[in-house]
Each structure stands twice: as C-alpha cells, then as structure tokens.
Chains A and B, each alone.
Chain A
Amino acid sequence: MIYTDGMENNVEVPMEVIYLVFIIVYGIFGALIVLTYIYNTAYIKNFTYKISEDHIIINHGVLTKIRATIPYSRIQNINIVNGVFDRMFKTFTVKIETAGSSAAAASAQRGHIRPEGYIPGLKDPHIIEKKIKEMMTKYSAVPSGLEDKIFKPEELAFDNFISYILSKMREGEKLKTSITELREKANLSAPQLAEKVGVPVQTINYLAEGRYNPSLALAYKIAEVLQCKIEDLFKLV
C-alpha cells in the first residue's frame, strides 16, 4: 500500500471552470439581492393598516395577499420592538398579540412566527399604541347576555367569582355609598370593619370607592355590623 497525501494527488482545474463557478455564485447572490429588493419594495407598497371603529385591518403580502382583521376584544397585548435593523433606521415595530392562535399557527407553518398584527417601520409607535389601547378599553365590555348568567346553586362559589369580575368590569352603573361615614360613626377602622364582616380589607376599600357591586348577602352583613338599613348604606345612582 502506498500512502499519499492530498498534495501529490492534486488534479489540475482549468482556470475557466474556476471563473465559471465564481460567476455563477456571484450571479445567484446578485439575483437574490435584486429579488429581495423587488419583493420588499412590493411588500412595502402593499402594506397598509387601518385602525377602524371595532377592529384593526392589516393588508399585507406580495404573492399571497392577506387581509387580517383583528377585533379589539381579542387583543391581548401590544409589544413595541426596537430591533437591530429598527435602530439603524430609527423605527419601531409594533406587534399586536391576540388570543386567537389560528393565524399565528398558520404563519408558523409557513415558516415565520409572527403575531397576527405586525406593523413594522413606525417612526412613532406610541401614537398607534395609545389609539389601540383607547379602542380596547372601549370594546372590552362584558359580552351582552352574560351579566346575569345563572349557575346552579352548587356552583355559587364560581357564580360569586364571576359576578365579582363582572361587577368590577361593569361601568356606569355605580352605587353611591355612605359606608365610610357610617363606619366612622360606628368608630370602626376599615380593617376592623373588614374583620367583623369577614372579608378582605380591599373589599371594603373598593366598596367605599364605589368600584364594586356587592352581593346582597355581603351588603346585609355590613348593614348588620354597622346597624343600619341597606338603603342607608347604598343608593343606586
């Protein structure tokens, strides 16, 4: 057996072949750059977004045109991203994440993991963030019909939990309360009252601020401790 190293076995490559390989490689690179340029120009040209009354509409896509409609009620959070390229051009990207997974899953299948709402290249993202948040608070109200949903008596704990959340979300329908005055008249501090009633002190505070619609049983307990009528304690405005 004869052992040889690579040097001795070197096959002579003609210069023309080397040139050809270089030309092909550069050609591919060049073509890629041109294609990317064309694609991105088209992308920018096609990209529009609109913040309408009840949803955000984002139009994008070059070959496949996509029109994404995001209702405000489904928006979970808004992220403002300032990546490396963003910083080079002093822009921001706003990512709107939604509760739905279908669009995210669909785009993940196609290779890019992007949230449903993706608005790149913004000079001042805070305007749009503020606008979206404004709309969100306007449209995240309790779905109609659910306010008085009844559960079986054995589900009362859950019912109480739901009514607690719903009543906290409910706006406008506020109760006027004189709980603080009556509490002071009875010479009780808020924590003392809370202990006697058997609720956390926050509940008393929320009640005093008129931010909580209590259950009748709770109202009765407080009225009992403060020795007054429910009508003296609360009034419907």
Chain B
Amino acid sequence: MKFKKKIASRIRQFREEMDLPQLELAKLVGVSRQTIYYLERGSYNPSLTISFKISEILKKPIHEIFYQEPIIKDILEGKSLSELRVVAEVAGLNLEKLASLSEMDDEQLTKAFKEETITKIAIALGAEFEDLFENL
C-alpha cells in the first residue's frame, strides 16, 4: 500500500526570500500569474520544462522546490478538530491513530494499517481508496 501523492512546492517561501513578486516570477518563467498561484497552492502538476525553468530562476534544485506530499495529509490538515473526531469515529479509530497518518511514510503505512481500515478512512473523508492511496 502506498500514499497517493501530489506535487507540493516551496515556491512561495523561496520567492519571498528573493523578494520576487508572483507576477515577476511568472514573467521570468514565461507563464501566467495563475500558474504560479496554482503551483504555490499545490494544485497543479507542472511540466518538467517549467519545473526546470523555475529551479533555474530560484537557484534551487528541483527536489528542494517541489516535493511529493500525500494527498491525505493535505486533507487532514484542512480539517478542524471536531471534524477529525467525526472522521475517526466513522472509521472506527481513535483520534491519535488517525492523526498519525499524516506523519507516516509508505512503509509505516503498510505496517500500521490494514487495507479495510484505510478504505474506511477514505470513505469517512468522503473519498475513495483510489483517490488517496495506491495498491501495489
């Protein structure tokens, strides 16, 4: 079992360190400002050539700017404590165990959770297994 991941980025952090406005960076890369906005929000999977250009401008290697993050981590972090309690209850877990999900890597996931539990969590979050996890 594996976490399904998405591309998250530290563009905003590096850009602010360089004192570079969003629009300026967009112009330098040759994309629209929206592209940078979506990239910073982590809701866009850029092409490799754009990634290379950004890495060149920000003077950082690609793996420092962009990293893969489990989708479920983002979802769990966006929920309030009371919402998390409900999710944990529906999935039949205690809150600590549910929260530990966002700190795990793929190996720990396989050890700590059964597939049924994972499916239950996905359903409790209003998603499906395939949206958040991958089967090997």
Contacts and interface: CB of A to CB of B under 8 A. Distances in A.
A163 B38 CA distance: 15
A175 interface: yes
Contacts of A216: 7, 45-48, 51, 62, 66
Contacts of A229: 61-63
B49 interface: yes
Contact of A213 (B47, B56, B68): B47
B68 A153 contact: no
Given A220-B68, A231-B62, A236 B32 contact: no
A229 B61 CA distance: 10
B48 A213 contact: yes
A234 B5 CA distance: 21
A211 to B, nearest CB: 13
Contacts of B46: 215-216
A160 interface: yes
B22 to A, nearest CB: 13
A230 interface: yes
Contact of A150 (B6, B32, B52, B66): B32
Contact of B48 (A150, A153, A219): A219
B114 to A, nearest CB: 23
Nearest to A196: B136
Contacts of A175: 48-49
B100 interface: no
B5 to A, nearest CB: 8
Residues of A in contact with B, size category: 20 to 34
Contacts of A150: 32, 34-35, 38, 44
A102 to B, nearest CB: 32
Contacts of A160: 45
Contacts of B7: 216-217, 220
A156 B45 contact: yes
B129 to A, nearest CB: 16
A148 B30 CA distance: 8
B63 A230 contact: yes
Residue of A175, A213, A217, A229 with highest tally of chain B CB at under 10 A: A217
B55 to A, nearest CB: 8
Interface in A191-237: 213-217, 219-220, 229-231, 234, 236
Contacts of A231: 61-63
B43 interface: yes
A186 to B, nearest CB: 17
Residue of B6, B47, B61 with highest tally of chain A CB at under 10 A: B47
A195 to B, nearest CB: 11
A19 B40 CA distance: 94
A188 B6 CA distance: 26
Nearest to A177: B48
Nearest to B31: A148
